[in-house]
Structure 1
Amino acid sequence: MTKTLFRTTIAILAASVATTAMAQVSPEDQIKFRQAGYSFMSWNMGKIKANLDRDYNHDQVVGAANAIAAIANSGMGALYGPGTERDVGNVRTFVKPEFFQNMEDVGTLARNFNAAANNLAAVAANGDQRAVSQAFGDVGAACKACHDKYRAD
C-alpha cells in the first residue's frame, strides 16, 4: 500500500511539473513553486527529526520520508528557468547566480540528493530507527552540500 501511494504521489507530482513547464510558468511563479517544494520537504524533515528525538512513530516517519522522496523526484529542476536567478517583483530568491553557471555540479548535487531521499524512504519502510537516523543524516548532508555552494544568506 505504501509503495502504491508513493508511486502515485510521484506520478502526480511529475505530471504537475511537466504541465507546469509546458504552461510557461512565469519566473515569479517558478520561484514560488520551488520554494513551496523545499518548504514542504523541510517540514517533513522536521517531522522525522521529532520522531528520532522522542517516541518513534513508524507510520509518521514513512509518510514524511515518502513525501520528501516524491518532491525530490518531481522534476523541480524545471523551476530554475531563465529569469529565476534573481528576485522577481516582490518574490525573493535565495539561489546564488553561480548556481546557473555550474549546471554540471548542480546536477551532481541534485542526483546525490535524490539518491539520499530515495534511500531514506526505503530505509524508513523497513522500520529500523538507527538506519533511519543514518539515512536522515545523509539527506541533511545532501541538502547542506547544495546550500553551502548555491544558497544565499
Structure 2
Amino acid sequence: MKKLMIGSLAALFLTASFTASAQIDPEDQIKFRKAGYSFMSWNMSKIKAMAIDESVAWDPAQVQAAANSIAATANSGMGALFGPGTEKSIGDTKTRVKPEMFTDGEGVVKVGMAFNKAANELAEAAATGDKALVAKAFAAAGDSCKGCHDKYRMD
C-alpha cells in the first residue's frame, strides 16, 4: 500500500510538474525556484537567530510569520519548477541540481514529502509560541533540507 501511495504521489508530482512547467520557460523556472529557496532560507535564518542562536530577542509573532512563510512556500507547488530543461544551467542562470533529481521520482517524492511535513510542523510549533518546541521543529526542518541537499544538490 505504501509503495502504491508513493508511486501515485510520484506520478502526480511529475504530471503537475510537467503541466505547470510547460507554461514557464526553463530559465525562469530555475530563477523562480532559486528565489523560493532563498526566501525560505531567509526565513529560516530569522527563526535560527531567535530560537537557536539567541542573537535576536525572541519574538513569537515574528517566528510565526517566518514559519508560515516557509510552510506556504513549501506547499506552493515548487516541484513544478523542476521541468524539462532545468537540470542544467542556462546562460547566466545557474543551478546546482544534480541529474538524479530528474530520474529518481520515488526519492524526490520522499524528500519532498518530508520537507513539506517538516515545514508544516514548524508552522504548527511556531503557532504555540513555545521556544523549545520551535527549536525542535526547526531542527527537523533543517534535517529535511539537508536530506534533499545531500541527495540532489551539487556543492
TM-score range, shorter chain: 0.7 to 0.9
TM-score w.r.t. the length of structure 1 is 0.85
Q: CA deviation at 1:149?
A: 0.7
Q: 1:115 — aligned with what?
A: 117
Out of 57, 73, 78, the position equivalent to 2:59 is 57
Q: CA deviation at 1:21?
A: 2.4
Q: 2:27 — aligned with what?
A: 28
Percent same amino acid at aligned positions? Answer: 60
Q: CA deviation at 1:117?
A: 0.3
Provide the C-alpha distance between the structure 1 equivalents of 2:75 and 2:88, rounded to a whole number of angstroms.
Answer: 24
Q: 1:14 — aligned with what?
A: none
Matches for 1:24-103 after TM superposition, within 5 Å? 24-52=23-51, 53-54=53-54, 55-103=57-105
Q: 1:3 — aligned with what?
A: none
Provide the C-alpha distance between the structure 2 equivalents of 1:23 and 1:104, rounded to a whole number of angstroms.
Answer: 22
Provide the C-alpha distance between the structure 2 equivalents of 1:104 and 1:59, rounded to a whole number of angstroms.
Answer: 37
Q: 2:9 — aligned with what?
A: none
Q: CA deviation at 1:23?
A: 6.8
TM-score w.r.t. the length of structure 2 is 0.84
Contact residue 114 and residue 144 of structure 2 kept, 8 A: yes
Provide the C-alpha distance between the structure 2 equivalents of 1:137 and 1:109, rounded to a whole number of angstroms.
Answer: 16
Give the 3 Å change call, closer, same or farther, for CA 29–22 of structure 1 in structure 2. Answer: closer
Give the 3 Å change call, closer, same or farther, for CA 103–23 of structure 1 in structure 2. Answer: closer
Question: Which amino acid in 2 is paired with 1:144?
Answer: K
Contact residue 67 and residue 123 of structure 2 kept, 8 A: yes
Q: CA deviation at 1:89?
A: 1.6
Question: Which amino acid in 2 is paired with 1:29?
Answer: D
Structure 1 window deviating more from structure 2 (48-57 vs 58-67): it is 48-57
Out of 122, 130, 133, the position equivalent to 2:132 is 130
Give the 3 Å change call, closer, same or farther, for CA 136–35 of structure 1 in structure 2. Answer: same
Q: CA deviation at 1:98?
A: 1.0
Give the 3 Å change call, closer, same or farther, for CA 48–110 of structure 1 in structure 2. Answer: same
Structure 1 window deviating more from structure 2 (21-30 vs 49-58): it is 21-30
Provide the C-alpha distance between the structure 2 equivalents of 1:63 and 1:91, rounded to a whole number of angstroms.
Answer: 30
Provide the C-alpha distance between the structure 1 equivalents of 2:105 and 2:132, rounded to a whole number of angstroms.
Answer: 34
Structure 1, unaligned runs of 5 or more: 1-16
